[in-house]
Amino acid sequence: MNNLRNDVINYNNIFLRFLFAMKNKTYIRKKEMIVFFGAVLILLSLMGRLVYLMIFRAEYYQEKARTLHERERDIKAARGEILDCRGTVLAANRTVCTISVIHNQIEDAERVIQVLTAELGMEVEEVRKQVEKVSSIERIKTNVEKETGDKIRAYDLPGVKVDEDYKRYYPYNELASKVLGFTGGDNQGIIGLEVVYEEYLKGENGKILTMTDARGVELEGVAEDRIEPVAGENLQISLDYNIQSYAQQAAEKVMEEKQADKVAIILMNPQNGEVLAMVNVPEFNLNDPYTLSGSGEGITDEERQNRLNQMWRNGCINDTYEPGSTFKIITSSACLEEGVVKLSDTFSCPGYRVVEDRKIRCHKVGGHGGETFVEGIQNSCNPVFIDIGLRLGAERFYDYFEQFGLLGKTKIDLPGEAATIMHKKEDIGLVELATMTFGQSFQITPIQMATTVSSLVNGGTRVTPHFGVQVVDQEGKTIEKFKYSIQNEIVSKETSETMQQLLKSVVEDGSGINGYIEGYEIGGKTATSQTLPRSANKYISSFIGFAPADNPTVLGMCVIYNPQGIYYGGTIAAPVIRDIFENIFPYLGIEKQEGNTLPEEGEQQGNSE
């Protein structure tokens, strides 16, 4: 029995081991199948990815592979020229070179460093740092003179590249520097017309493409690919080289004679807003715009930049000033338009006018006595303008200020135009109104003053002052003509014609007599204003003149800042515009009229303002 039990137990153990083995074998087979099918899926996905990359993305990766072996260098586009109204080139281009090195192609680094240091006038360590830098291409210096570039090219140094491009060049150096502006190292506009018309002038850069091996060495026998640059379009402006030149000489002369801080002159066509000349002396050299006038030693970078900004500043549009008595043109126009004054109205000037608790003086201490409105404007009499301004009232005065366009900007095509600094309407009391009538207690820009006067004497059309006339291609064919907004009837034609005759009488019989030219009918107004603080005893002298008086085609304005000695606008500013007019009238086709002469000397009523 025992043996039988043992045999049964043994058979059971064997059977159990068999069942376990069978179960374990099935489990292993399942694992193998899972691994197998997993591997198959991975292989299928890899094959699918490979097919996708080789067929559907082949072009993309071919391009990537090509770019890994392609080196690119820019070719600067020739910037469009700036031409004056008669085609004289004011901003051109000069061929220069860019010197670069390709690290992997250099065979004799010391020789390269030696040559570049000597020819480029650079420090050895600066050149060494760039030559030894591991990069695809390293630019050593831009805007290198072509003669120097040709010398470096003649050394035939492996790894040294000399590419020709363009640098802005201004044939007349300081002429209209604060109008034209200049470009930076990247040939983009920095200030002036260069930045305003960047879109037209800049052009499109080209490229030089070369192929290299895996080490970055250019492949021999493989031709360079070139994408040629597209030159910028030419800009023709209203500025006239001859008029600008003469106006600039006149400004420099009076600045030296009167030891003034600066002088601004604007000449424009009052009928359409075209600016013929804009002078801001001292000007700066456009071909060397980063060299300060005077000593720049011992100043911080911030101080240097501030001085550069001041040197580049266009005072005709960026700076405001109290216009003084030239503003009486605006006051007269508003009061005539409103009907609060007639030419025959009479006034009394004892040398001052008391407004509330303020005694406001006339420039003639003893007073002008009894006078008509016509005589009041000829004499530039402050009490007369205080009286008519008070008749008009603060609210209507402010409304005309707005109607004439004085509260906004002129929208001239130059950057950084300043806005008028003016009282709020509710803050204009009787004293403020009284001083505003003769151009004090607020500030405007010279271009705003010239534009507003133009609009009041041209028949009443508010014009937009501008330089840009048209864009032309390299053959001179017009691509685009610029259009500018106008505002009709800011005053009636009758008021405008009256102002023409009044201002003509100011030049022939009044304070503007030093602006008179025999044979020509000229209208104008003088001004002498005191800067803030009044205790500094600094003055701004100015004169605005236009001709022919009854149909003006040119308006000139001269502003002299802080002249020494005699500072009356009628004495020092009017002769500047007179001399300019005398020289440019024949040039502009303004003809002399016989019989237009001054009254006898004893009948002249001019005064010093």
| Integer Cα distance of 57 and 379 in angstroms | 86
**Are 565 and 493 in a shared domain?**
yes
Q: Is the pLDDT of residue 69 over 60?
A: no
Q: For 312-367, how does the pLDDT look when each residue is reduced to its tens digit (9 = 90+)?
A: 999 999 999 999 999 999 999 999 999 999 999 999 999 999 999 899 999 999 99
Residue 252 lies in a domain: yes
| Integer Cα distance of 390 and 525 in angstroms | 22
Q: Is the pLDDT of residue 139 over 50?
A: yes
* Contact in structure between 163 and 146 (CB atoms under 8 Å): no
Whole-number pLDDT of residue 64: 55
Whole-number pLDDT of residue 339: 97
Average pLDDT over residues 14-34: 65
pLDDT category at 609 given cuts 50, 70, 90 is confident
State in Å, rounded, how far the first CA of the chain is from the last one.
152
Q: Is the pLDDT of residue 590 over 60?
A: yes
Write the CB contacts of 268 (distance below 8 Å, at least 6 apart in sequence).
274, 275, 276, 450, 451, 454, 465, 554, 555
Backbone phi, psi, residue 281, to 5°: -95, 140
- Domain boundary residue, one of 42, 68, 94: 68
Q: For 367-388, how does the pLDDT look when each residue is reduced to its tens digit (9 = 90+)?
A: 999 999 999 999 999 999 999 9
Q: Is the pLDDT of residue 467 over 80?
A: yes
Whole-number pLDDT of residue 525: 98
| Integer Cα distance of 325 and 76 in angstroms | 51
Query: For 159, left (φ over 0), alpha (ψ -120 to 50), or beta?
Result: left
| Integer Cα distance of 166 and 502 in angstroms | 54
Q: What is the 3-state secondary structure (H, E, C) of 508-546?
A: HHCCCHHHCCCCCCCEEEEEEEECCCHHHCCEEEEEEEE
Whole-number pLDDT of residue 221: 47
pLDDT category at 15 given cuts 50, 70, 90 is low
User: How many alpha carbons lie under 13 Å from residue 184 in its C-beta half-sphere?
Assistant: 7
Six-digit token string for 323: 């216009």
Residue 306 lies in a domain: no
Write the CB contacts of 140 (distance below 8 Å, at least 6 apart in sequence).
99, 100, 101, 116, 120, 122, 127, 130, 131
Task: Give the pairing type, strands 82-83 and 89-101.
Answer: antiparallel
3 state DSSP class of 563:
coil
**Are 358 and 416 in a shared domain?**
yes
Average pLDDT over residues 243-248: 98
Q: Please give the model's pTM, rounded to 2 decimal places.
A: 0.84
* 555: enclosing H helix or E strand: strand 554-561
Whole-number pLDDT of residue 72: 65
**Are 90 and 153 in a shared domain?**
yes
Number of domain units in the chain? 3
Bigger pLDDT: 486 vs 22:
486
Lowest average pLDDT, out of 13-17, 71-75, 413-417, goes to 13-17
Bigger pLDDT: 239 vs 231:
239
**Are 467 and 372 in a shared domain?**
yes
Task: Give the pairing type, strands 82-83 and 234-237.
Answer: parallel
Of 277, 275, 282, whose CA–CA distance to 411 is shortest?
Answer: 275
Q: Which amino acid appears at position 133 of this protein? A: K
| Integer Cα distance of 365 and 382 in angstroms | 11
Average pLDDT over residues 57-84: 70
Query: For 203, left (φ over 0), alpha (ψ -120 to 50), or beta?
Result: left
Number of neighbours of residue 156 by Cβ within 10 angstroms: 7
Q: Distance of alpha carbon 272 from its chain centroid, rounded?
A: 21
3 state DSSP class of 465:
coil
What mean pLDDT, rounded, does the chain reach? 89
Of 104, 112, 61, 73, whose CA–CA distance to 219 is shortest?
Answer: 104
Whole-number pLDDT of residue 601: 45
**Are 32 and 135 in a shared domain?**
no
The boundaries of the domain holding residue 510 are: 245-283+320-594
| Integer Cα distance of 76 and 187 in angstroms | 8
Whole-number pLDDT of residue 18: 57
| Integer Cα distance of 234 and 560 in angstroms | 34
Residue 370 lies in a domain: yes
Q: Is the pLDDT of residue 66 over 60?
A: no
Residue 312 lies in a domain: no
3 state DSSP class of 458:
coil
Torsion, Cα of 486, 492, 493, 498 (10° steps): -120
pLDDT category at 75 given cuts 50, 70, 90 is confident
* Contact in structure between 395 and 402 (CB atoms under 8 Å): no
- Domain boundary residue, one of 172, 206, 234: 234
**Are 339 and 257 in a shared domain?**
yes
**Are 458 and 537 in a shared domain?**
yes
Of 330, 423, 409, whose CA–CA distance to 377 is shortest?
Answer: 330
Beta strands in 269-317 (DSSP E): 275-281
User: How many alpha carbons lie under 13 Å from residue 323 in its C-beta half-sphere?
Assistant: 32
Bigger pLDDT: 110 vs 16:
110
Task: Give the pairing type, strands 262-268 and 275-281.
Answer: antiparallel
* Contact in structure between 514 and 578 (CB atoms under 8 Å): yes
| Residue with token string 């153990």 | 13
Q: Is the pLDDT of residue 481 over 50?
A: yes
Q: Is the pLDDT of residue 603 over 50?
A: no
* Contact in structure between 96 and 165 (CB atoms under 8 Å): yes
Whichever domain contains 190, its CATH number is 3.90.1310.10
**Burial grade of 121 (CB within 10 A; 0-12, 13-18, 19 or more):** exposed
- CA-to-CA dists, residue 275 to 119, 145, 270, 570, angstroms: 45, 35, 9, 24
pLDDT category at 205 given cuts 50, 70, 90 is confident
Q: Supply the residues annotated as catalytic.
A: 325
| Residue with token string 């609060």 | 340
Residue 184 lies in a domain: yes
Q: Enumerate the H helices of 2-52 as residue ranges.
A: 2-51
| Residue with token string 């041209």 | 458
Lowest average pLDDT, out of 155-159, 207-211, 432-436, goes to 207-211
Q: Which amino acid appears at position 468 of this protein? A: G
Number of neighbours of residue 393 by Cβ within 10 angstroms: 15
**Are 556 and 582 in a shared domain?**
yes
| Integer Cα distance of 414 and 465 in angstroms | 10
**Are 129 and 277 in a shared domain?**
no
| Integer Cα distance of 422 and 400 in angstroms | 13
Whichever domain contains 453, its CATH number is 3.40.710.10
Residue 290 lies in a domain: no
Whole-number pLDDT of residue 76: 80
Six-digit token string for 596: 């237009």
Strand arrangement, sheet containing 275-281: 275-281, 262-268, 554-561, 539-547, 523-530
Six-digit token string for 349: 């000037």
Question: 277 forms bridges with which residues in the sheet?
Answer: 267
Residue 384 lies in a domain: yes
**Are 469 and 531 in a shared domain?**
yes
**Are 352 and 438 in a shared domain?**
yes
Q: Calculate ∠ Cα 336-337-341, nearest 5°.
A: 25
Torsion sign (Cα): 268, 273, 276, 277: positive
| Integer Cα distance of 233 and 457 in angstroms | 36
Residue 297 lies in a domain: no
- Domain boundary residue, one of 234, 254, 274: 234
Whole-number pLDDT of residue 471: 97
Give me the percent of the chain exceeding a pLDDT of 90.
70
Q: For 517-547, how does the pLDDT look when each residue is reduced to its tens digit (9 = 90+)?
A: 999 999 999 999 999 888 888 999 999 999 9
Whole-number pLDDT of residue 602: 37
| Residue with token string 């049964």 | 8
pLDDT category at 604 given cuts 50, 70, 90 is very low
| Integer Cα distance of 434 and 289 in angstroms | 44
**Are 249 and 229 in a shared domain?**
no
